[in-house]
């Protein structure tokens, strides 16, 4: 096996930068990644500015955010609930609860005031909060006008090569990749040291999902400080976008809508630029070194 002297065998990209050509390549890649994130930021802002997205957000805002306790009550009584609202709230949204549907029991807070006597004999009014049982209904128990949605299209393109490269990246990082037909609407998951990828979609979608989960594996399990789920989804999807775009796979429609739905915008993307760029570059470098390892038997590559 030949190891070419001018390109040191690299476990990571830093070794590469010490040589002149490597530094140029690293700088060029870095610039390209920044351009890609800029393009994504523009696409996300375009989604947010669209009329259909505003209508969607407007309706979203009319759904109540339930407390943790109520969320558990809803999930135990109706595990498949997606959108939940009270009888009158559904009427206002142009939908009606079907006859005979049983409501989901939750606790609703109410304010009360009462008079009480102080130690000195004077009376005072005190405010308090009590809870009473009320019922809500899932969208599946209602009929009527369709709720506005934002379609996040799956990637239809085939990208067998990129998928193979990314499986290689996972392998080099000791991340187990499990493919399978999972539940409806499931694309993938990062489980710290292993990822699940739904193989019921085109290989382009699978590659996009794998890049997204690899980003979660890198960024969000050993992270210092705290971050929100929305910030994590924005970063993972932006990394997937950059990696896919680098290898010629267009996932802009899906990535921009996905990020917009998680509340992301261009400002949030720019705030995370360093983390996105570094993670994307690491995956791209690993994927490229996989390719050179594959070419090694023909004597042109570098064994790393
Ligand atoms: Zn995710």
Centre of ligand 1 from the C-alpha of residue 221, in Å? 12
Give the residue from 271, 282, 280, 283 showing the smallest Cα distance to 44. 271
Above 90 in pLDDT, residue 185? no
The CA distance from 105 to 263, in Å, is: 30
Q: Give the single-character DSSP code of 299.
A: T
Confidence of residue 139 (pLDDT cuts 50, 70, 90): very high
* Cα-to-centroid distance, 28 and ligand 1 (Å): 28
| pLDDT (0 to 100) of residue 57 | 85
Tell how far the Cα of 22 is from the centroid of ligand 1, in angstroms. Answer: 32
Question: Using alpha carbons only, what angle is made at residue 187 by residues 204 and 276, rounded to the nearest 5 degrees?
Answer: 70
Distance 160 CA to ligand 1 centre (A): 22
163 C-alpha to ligand 1 centroid (Å): 18
Span from the CA of 260 to the centroid of ligand 1 (angstroms)? 14
Interatomic CA distance for residues 18 and 39, integer angstroms: 30
Highest mean pLDDT among 3-17, 62-76, 116-130, 204-218: 204-218
Please give the pLDDT value at position 5: 32
Q: In angstroms, what is the span from residue 27 Cα to ligand 1's centroid?
A: 28
Residue 77, Cβ neighbours under 10 Å: how many?
Answer: 15
- How distant, in Å, are the alpha carbons of 57, 98, 161, 281, 283 from that of 13? 42, 60, 22, 9, 10
Which helix (H) or strand (E) segment is 143 a member of?
strand 142-144
Question: Cα(108)–Cα(66) distance, rounded to whole angstroms?
Answer: 9
Closest CA to 187 of 240, 149, 224: 240
- Residues 1-13: what's their mean pLDDT? 34
Cα 113 to ligand 1 centroid, rounded to whole Å? 46
Each residue of 33-44: pLDDT tens digit?
A: 999 999 999 999
Each residue's pLDDT tens digit, 197-211? 999 999 999 999 999
Rounded distance from Cα 229 to ligand 1 centre (Å)? 8
Q: From ligand 1's centre to the CA of 186, what distance in Å? A: 11
CA of 212 to the centre of ligand 1 (A): 6
Å from CA of 84 to ligand 1 middle: 24
Cα separation, 70 vs 65, whole angstroms: 10
* Residues flanking ion ligand 1, Cβ below 5 Å: 233, 236
Residue 3 has pLDDT above 60, yes or no: no
pLDDT of residue 19 exceeding 80, the answer is no
Contacts with 50 (C-beta within 8 Å, 6 or more apart), sequence order: none
What is the mean pLDDT of the segment spanning 273-290? 92
Q: Structure pTM?
A: 0.73
The token pair at 22 is 């490597």
Q: 116 CA to middle of ligand 1, Å?
A: 53
CA torsion through residues 185, 229, 265, 93, sign = positive
pLDDT tens across 159-180, in order? 999 999 999 999 999 999 999 9
Ligand 1 center–CA 258 separation, angstroms: 10
Ligand 1 center to residue 37 CA distance, Å?
Answer: 18
Name the strand (E) or helix (H) holding 129.
strand 123-138
CA of 158 relative to ligand 1 center, distance in Å = 21
- Cβ neighbours for 28, distance < 8 A, ≥ 6 positions apart: none
CA of 227 to the centre of ligand 1 (A): 13
The pLDDT assigned to 303 comes to: 34
Q: How far is the CA of 51 from the centre of ligand 1 (A)?
A: 26
* DSSP designation for 33: H
């Amino acid at each position: 096996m030949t190891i070419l002297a001018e390109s040191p065998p690299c476990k990571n990209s830093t070794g590469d930068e010490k040589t002149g050509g490597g530094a140029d390549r690293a700088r060029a890649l870095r610039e390209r990644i920044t351009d890609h994130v800029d393009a994504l930021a523009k696409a996300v802002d375009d989604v947010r500015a669209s009329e259909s997205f505003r209508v969607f957000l407007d309706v979203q805002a009319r759904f109540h955010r339930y407390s943790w306790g109520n969320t558990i009550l809803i999930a135990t009584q109706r595990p498949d609930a997606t959108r939940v609202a009270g009888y009158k709230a559904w009427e206002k949204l142009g939908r009606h609860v079907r006859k005979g549907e049983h409501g989901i029991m939750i606790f609703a807070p109410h304010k009360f005031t009462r008079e009480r006597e102080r130690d000195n004999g004077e009376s005072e009014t005190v405010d308090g909060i009590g809870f009473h049982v009320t019922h809500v209904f899932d969208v599946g128990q209602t009929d009527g006008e369709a709720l506005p949605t934002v379609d996040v299209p799956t990637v239809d393109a085939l990208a067998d090569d990129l998928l193979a490269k990314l499986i290689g990246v996972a392998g080099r990082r000791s991340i187990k990749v499990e493919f399978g037909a999972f539940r409806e609407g499931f694309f993938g998951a990062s489980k710290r040291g292993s990822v699940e990828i739904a193989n019921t979609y085109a290989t382009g979608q699978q590659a996009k999902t794998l890049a997204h989960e690899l980003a979660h594996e890198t960024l969000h399990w050993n992270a210092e400080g705290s971050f929100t789920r929305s910030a994590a989804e924005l970063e993972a999807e932006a990394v997937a976008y950059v990696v896919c775009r680098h290898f010629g796979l267009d996932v802009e429609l899906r990535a921009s809508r996905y990020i917009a739905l998680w509340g992301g915008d261009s400002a949030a993307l720019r705030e995370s630029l360093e983390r996105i760029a570094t993670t994307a570059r690491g995956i791209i470098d690993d994927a490229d070194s996989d390719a050179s390892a594959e070419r090694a038997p023909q004597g042109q590559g570098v064994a790393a």
